[in-house]
Structures are given as C-alpha cells and as structure tokens.
Amino acid sequence: MKKTGAQIFWECLVKEGVDVVFGFPGGFNLPIYDAMPEYPVKHILVRHEQGGAHMAEGYARASGKVGVAMSTSGPGATNLVTGIANALMDSIPMVFITGQVNSFHIGYDAFQEIDVTGITMPITKHNYLITDVREINHAVREAFYLAKTGRPGPVLLDITKDAQVAVLDWEYDDTPIKLLGYDPTPTPAESDLEGAMKLIQQSKKPLILAGQGVMMSGAMDELKAFAEKEQIPIAVTLLGIGCIPAEHELHLGMMGMHGESWVNNAIQQADLLIACGMRFDDRVIGRVQSYAPHARKIHFELDQSEVNKNVQVDVAVIGDLKGTLQKVIPMVQPMKHDDWLESIDEMRTESKELTAAHTVRNGKLLVSDVMKTLSDSCSQPSIVVTDVGQHQMWAAQLFQRHDPFSFISSGGLGTMGYGLPAALGAKVACPEKSVWVIVGDGGFQMTQAELSTAAQWGIKVNVAIMNNGFLGMVRQWQELFYDHRYTATPILSPDFVKIGEAHGLPSRLVTSMDEVADVVAWAEKQPETVVIEFRVEPEENVYPMVSVGSALDEMILYPEEKKE
C-alpha cells in the first residue's frame, strides 16, 4: 500500500504503543503534522520546545513508557537540547523527533538548517539523520528499542522534509531488532556473584545504596526482599526516592550533599556498601578520598562504564538489577544486624532533636514547614514533581514517598525550569493521581508559559511556588562561602497570583502557616490547574550541607556551624 513518509512515521509510532506526543509544529515537520489526524495519537501543543521535552520526560517517568517530543528544524531542534541532555543524565527512555530541511539543501546553510545530529551526538544514546523514506520504518523501531532497553536514554530522529513527503509502496516490517555489539541485558558472572556473597556474609555494618536503577529495572520487590533477609538498612539517592516505601523499617532516607546527617554518617561508618542501580555521583560521595573509608564496596550495575568511574569497588556485578537480585537472594544466608540498626537509630534521634532545637521560626513562613504540611495534607496517591534548588532538597527530605515513580526531579543536569512542564507530563500519564509541582520563584519563571498549555488542554496540577525573592540555592552558597555577597541572586518576580489568573486558573497567596493545610484542601478540589504563591522567609537555608571538597561526614548542620 502506498504511504508517504509522514504516514509511515505515524504508523510506526502507533505500533510502538505511542498514544501521546508533546510538540510544536514548523515548516520542516509540517508534513508529519498534516498526517497526524489520521492516527490515534494525542498531540499536546506546548509553548516552548524545552517545555515539550520536559513534559515528555515527566510522562515517561510517571508511566514507565517511552516519552516522545517533536519539533521542527533549526531553533525548534536546538530548543530541545536541554531536555535531551536532562534525559541522558537521568537515564530516561525518550525519543525526540525533529524535522530537517530537504536532503538536497543540507550543507548549504538553508533557512533553519542546523546539524542537530552533530549537536546532540554527545547527549543521546544514539541519533539518526533520515534522508530516505525507506529508512523510516527501521529507524523508528530501532530508536524505540534503544531508548527503552539496557540503560535507558534519549534517541533522536532527524527526518528531512523530502523523506516525509516521499511516497513508498510499503508494509510494516516487524523483523526483530538486532544490533551488532549491543547487549542490553548482560548476564552476571558467577564468580562476581560469589565474591559479592562472601563480602555480604562477612559484613557487620552493611548498607544498601539504592538509586533510580532499582525502579527502572522493576526491582523494588527484590530489593526489599534482599534487605529484609539480610536485615540491611537502605539509603536512597535523590532519584531513588520511592524505590522503598518511606515507612519501611529499613528505609533511612536520602544520602549526599543535602542528605540526612544520620545517613551520611552511616555511610562513613559502614564496613560494606552495596550499590544498587546508582552511579556514585559526586553529589552523593563528597570528597572521594575520604568516602566510606572503612567499607568494602559491591556495585550491582547494568552499565559497565559506571564501574570504578568515581569510586573504586571491590566487586562489580554487571547485569540487570532485577535479575541479579533474583540470583542473589537464594545465595545468601539470613543475617541479623540489630546493633548496627540501633546505632543508626540513635544517630537519627539525636539529629532530629538537634534540628528541632536549632529551628527558629519567630512567626516566619519557612519552606521546610510548608513542605512538611504539604506532605501530610496532600491526597494519595500523589506524584510530587520539583524544580531545582533549595525547595527541591527540602521536598526530597520531607515528602514521605511510598510508591515508585512518585517523586520526579531533575537529578544529574539540575535543570531549572524543569518542574512545571514535567508535572504536566506526569499528569497526562497518570490522570487519576494528584500531582503537586514544587517550584522556586526563579525556576518557575523560566517555563511559566506552560501554564497556557495546562489551561488549553485541561491538565490539572497543583503549582506551589516558594517565593523567597532569591535564587535560593546560589544565595545560600554566597552566604556560606562568599561572605554574604549576594551578587545577581536577588530576583524580582511578577505577581504570581495575577499570572495564574491571567491564564484563567484559580490562584491564591499564602503568607502564614495557618493557611497552608486549608489551601492544600482547596487546591485539590479545583478541577483545573491552580497556582499557589507561598511568600516564604528569604534567607532560610537547607541543611545538612556537605560543601564541595568536604568528606561526607563533614556536614554543615546549622547556621552557626559555618566553617571559615
């Protein structure tokens, strides 16, 4: 049957199970858009291509499916770059589709021509320049296969306009995808499993470090079963939040630069670290020479390139985490570590008491108090999406997450402006769940135009803006390490309530703690997106904090403990 390249493209997307795409049309993807109404795919028109990339990522993370974002060539394609890089850093399965000038114009500086495959080569798992209609079927199928297998990541398809309009006598080709040298599910070596088991059985103070890889592999039950059998406490990374229920007795909390003090101290005191689906990021380990000095280290990891990259380990077990833990659990003998757990619990109790003693309110609206009340008040099941900054760290510390993929945040790239669009994508994926997006006044202004996307498509999220009048995280560094020289961090914001109302969205201003619980209940009753501006204390700092170059247990715990 004769089909245009655009029709072939959509039929391949439908075969891949795509039911929604986020995008923005233009001259060089117009044939694709012209063919779109023939197919059962919902298109969400965004206000900026970066917003579309983040929406598609929020959709992918909340649904477990591959997220899809589209743009035209030139500036449309370059506007996707930040979202592509974010997806690569956080290992999110994504397919990006860009239009390209006609193949016979490539290399002649045609209008809106840009070498998007060259630009994105370092930030994609793979990318394709498609100049022939006959390439579309296989390239689309291969792109989705690569995006979701092995360590997930973004793949880009750049399709020339003449390939989109060309006609081909075509039938769908579903030949199994095989790529030379690509092994998405390596089998763990028995010798490595035995070496890991030996260290586990010898350990007196073991600790599991759990990252997003636990959820990406679907290994939540296996992790819990392994930890319970061996009675090993679990610390989580920022993106690992939700891989173990917060109320579980072995759950400790978040590790790293703004992790809980008892978690960081436990890492430094442990005699064995078992890393599961995490990559020993620099924000997790502090000064590498002083990291976990008493601990042997086991790394359960899918991506061989992550092993010994930042931290040297004693045993690396390469394979999909779910399958690896299924092999590990029967191999180990049940263990008890009551003394170790009691020691950590004592550190946790002491830390919480000291934090309470050092918290000074004086009638001020503190972000930390707002976060705790939001966590206690929002309905379940819910998804929390954050932007990047101080509010992100408070949300990670204080929102108690019990379900996988219920905390969504930009991790490796730390992208301001991520929160609102990612939340919209998450809501599209999970319309039955309450979605709260926690943003700062700085990051929100970067992508606030996506409120129009929420209004046009009837996407309901609850936007909580922590307005402290600063780029808060940078200001905190300036306070602690640059003698209070607040250069370029005070930020003027518009009236966010009026901004929300201008989009036809219910909006409220909150200035005291007495209002917080009521406004949460009000927000969740509204049928459309709501905007809530919290006027919070301008110079509240998020603690603990491990400064750059410090060991993980050399934390700044309270304002008076600033180190010169």
CA distances from 6 to 34, 162, 373, 375 (A): 8, 10, 50, 46
Q: Which residues of the chain have pLDDT under 50?
A: 561-564
The Cα diameter of the chain in Å comes to 75
Burial 417-451 (b: 16+ CB within 10 A, else e): bbbbbbbbbbbbbbeebbbbbbbbbbbbbbbbebb
CATH 3.90.1310.10 is right for the domain spanning 190-346? no
> What is the model's pLDDT at position 354?
86
Neighbour order of strands in the sheet with 507-510: 407-408, 382-386, 434-440, 462-467, 530-535, 507-510
> What is the model's pLDDT at position 355?
86
Burial 339-360 (b: 16+ CB within 10 A, else e): ebbebbeebbeebeeebeeeee
Is the CB of residue 227 less than 8 Å from the CB of residue 208? yes
- Return the domain boundaries, the chain: 2-169, 190-346, 365-539
**What fold is seen in the domain 365-539?**
Rossmann fold (3.40.50)
- 2-169 and 365-539, same CATH topology: yes
Q: Residue 369 corresponds to which tokens in the numbers above? A: 């108090």
> What is the model's pLDDT at position 563?
44
Surface-to-core class of residue 528, CB atoms within 10 Å of its CB (0-12 exposed, 13-18 middle, 19+ buried): middle
> What is the model's pLDDT at position 65?
98
> What is the model's pLDDT at position 271?
98
CATH classification code of 2-169: 3.40.50.970
> What is the model's pLDDT at position 560?
64
Q: Residue 330 corresponds to which tokens in the numbers above? A: 């029967």
**Which residues are known catalytic residues?**
49, 111-112, 161, 473
